[in-house]
Amino acid sequence: MSTYEVTDEPILDAAYRRLPDHVKASIQKLHSEAQIRPRNAISELEALLAQYPRLPQLYNYLAVAYSQIGEDEKVEAIAQAGIQANPDYLFTRLNYAELCLQRKEYAKVAEIFDYKFDLHLLYPKRKRFHVSEVVGFMGMVGLYFYETQRRDLAQQYYDILQKLAPNHPMTRRLKQRLAPNLIDIVRARLMR
C-alpha cells in the first residue's frame, strides 16, 4: 500500500468552499439529519440538489436518508445519478460500489475503482485523505476481495482497518465476513 497522510480534519473541495455560508451551514446540518431524522432531511436535500446538481455530498446525504427509511429503489437511483454527475468523487464511488456488491456484480466494483485498489493509485494527485475516506475505501475493497474469493487480500485490508479504526462499523463488517461468530454461521445455514 502506498503512503499518504490520513487526517480527521475536514477536506473541502473548491466547489464546496465557494458556496454561500448559509448553504454550507445547511449542508452541515443535513449531514447528521440524514442519519437521525431522514424524513425531515429529504425535501431540503432534494431542493439543494436541484440548485447545486454538481455538489457530490448532496447525493450521498440523500442516499443515506433514503436508505435510513428503506427506500432502496431511490437509493439506487440516487447512487447512479451521483456517479454520473461526479464519477471521481470517492464517496460516490463507494455508494455505487456498495450497490454493486449487494447485487453480486463484482466486476463492476473493480471497474468503479478503475482496477486500482490503493487510494494513492486511484487519486495520484492527492497526498491527504480524510479517515472516513480511507476507512470506507479499505472496507469496500476488503469486502470486494472477500466476495471474489481472495481472502488473503481481504485480510490485509482488514489488518489496516484494525489499526486505523478498530471500532468503525466498516471494520466490524469486514471482520464479521472474515471471522463470523457462531450465531452468524447458524443464521447463514438456516437461511439457505
**pLDDT tens, residue by residue, 17-42:** 899 999 999 999 999 999 999 999 99
Mean pLDDT, rounded, for 103-132? 95
The residue ranking higher by pLDDT, 28 or 189, is 28
What residues contact residue 128 under an 8 Å CB cut-off, 6+ apart?
4, 5, 6, 7, 11
Q: Say whether 109 sits in a helix, a strand or coil.
A: helix
- Report which secondary-structure segment, H or E, holds 5: strand 5-7
Rounded Cα distance, 5 and 123, in Å: 13
More confident residue, 115 or 191: 115
Q: What are the sequence ranges of the domains in the chain?
A: 12-86, 112-192
pTM for this entry: 0.86
Residues 80, 96: contact at Cβ < 8 Å? yes
The number of residues in the chain equals 192
Please give the backbone phi and psi of residue 114, each rounded to the nearest 5 degrees, phi first.
50, 30
Predicted confidence (pLDDT) per residue in 138-187, tens digit: 999 999 999 999 999 999 999 999 999 999 999 999 999 998 766 666 66
Q: Average of pLDDT values for 66-94? A: 93
- Average pLDDT of the residues of the chain: 91
